[in-house]
Amino acid sequence: GDSVTQMEGPVTLSEEAFLTINCTYTATGYPSLFWYVQYPGEGLQLLLKATKADDKGSNKGFEATYRKETTSFHLEKGSVQVSDSAVYFCALSRPGNEKLTFGTGTRLTIIP
Amino acid sequence: DVKVTQSSRYLVKRTGEKVFLECVQDMDHENMFWYRQDPGLGLRLIYFSYDVKMKEKGDIPEGYSVSREKKERFSLILESASTNQTSMYLCASSSARGQRQPQHFGDGTRLSIL
């Protein structure tokens, strides 16, 4: 079945550091890929998405590129801020299927 | 903006009680979902619904049921609560118009079963 594997957390970085959170997936066909973010005490919010190979999703300085050859969708940001502290979830859905399959989440803490 | 509202942020119930978690969305979305979120396990789908009075089992439906009598409301029911159902419960909705629409989430209900 479908699965999503994220790098283990927690991740702690200093402000203005470069961020990478790895995500790889297993799925048949051509899934859509998503990154969701969960700030403390809140539900999940869509951060960015990509629907086909080589697409780049971007939002709020975050980027992720859909790499079919490596089945990956790594999240990157060039300079993180304290306000980026949150839990980040990678997820996929398959065409014609509204269900999302989530990774286990990566907790990110940014220290001033 | 899409608003998904869950009726309670925190709930404490006793073992064996019947528990209702309510979720309402205001964007006329066809699809609605219930997840539970546990540390180290991410989000797991309990049930989902594509339309009124329609429901399908997700990955972990045991011990739960759902009700969708109106399009905007999707209820999760714990028939006889047990301590292993202590968790964070998240409701989500999405549009079926167009492909690959994102899901929109409520703020969650943290449920404790004593």
Region for A61 from its dihedrals, namely left if φ exceeds 0, alpha if ψ lies in -120 to 50, beta otherwise: left
Cβ contacts (< 8 Å) between B92 and chain A: which residues? 43-44
Condensed to tens digits (0 to 9), the pLDDT of residues B86-107 reads 999 999 999 876 666 789 999 9
Q: Is A85 on the interface with B (CB under 8 A)?
A: no
- Is A98's pLDDT higher than 90? no
- Is B63's pLDDT higher than 80? yes
**Whole-angstrom Cα distance, residue A22 to residue B99?**
26
The closest CB to that of A34, out of B33, B41, B102, belongs to B102
**Whole-angstrom Cα distance, residue B36 to residue A85?**
22
Q: Between residues A76 and A42, which one has the greater pLDDT?
A: A76
Instruction: Mark yes or no for CB contact A98/B96 under 8 Å.
Output: yes
Q: Pick the closest to residue B43 from B12, B10, B2, B89 (CA basis).
A: B89
Identity of residue A74: H
CA distance B109 to chain A (A): 9
- Is B30's pLDDT higher than 70? yes
| B64 neighbors B49 (Cβ within 8 angstroms) | no
